[in-house]
Amino acid sequence: MPTYCYRNERTGKVIEEFFHMTDDIPDDFKKDGDTYFHDLGAEGVGVPCDANWPIECIGSGVNAAQAGELRAHFKKEGLNIQVSDDGNPIYTSAKQQREGLKSRGFINKSSFY
């Protein structure tokens, strides 16, 4: 389900809401007595507005037996990306994630880049 960001103009707080792809996305809605407005700027950062870095990316991971090969690949590409013992890259930012995925011919379809 797509994630949409909404901002409370009074407090400045940004929240995420999930809607089914067939739903009409509201421009504003009330939650806990406050009105939140759809904030395209918060969505335009390329990652969910409350993303917590670093992340361990299971989707671009390899078998644990290949973790050393992935570490060597990142080192050869000049990227300082850690790899867990399970073989999953640990990205510290969206930029690092894009660079790491690009070096392997992958893209993050949710990153909007």
Vertex 101 angle, CA 6 and 91, to 5°? 65
Residue 22 carries which DSSP code? T
Please give the structure tokens belonging to residue 105: 């011919």
This prediction has a pTM of 0.55
Contact 14, 50 (CB under 8 A): yes
Q: What are phi and psi of 94, to 5 degrees?
A: -65, -35
* Domain coordinates in residue numbering, the chain: 3-43, 55-103
Q: Quick: pLDDT tens for 17-34.
A: 887 777 787 888 788 888
- Mean pLDDT, all residues of the chain: 85
**Among residues 77, 100, 81, 99, which one has the least CA distance to residue 90?**
81
Q: Quick: pLDDT tens for 42-63.
A: 776 555 555 578 899 999 999 9
Residue 26 carries which DSSP code? P
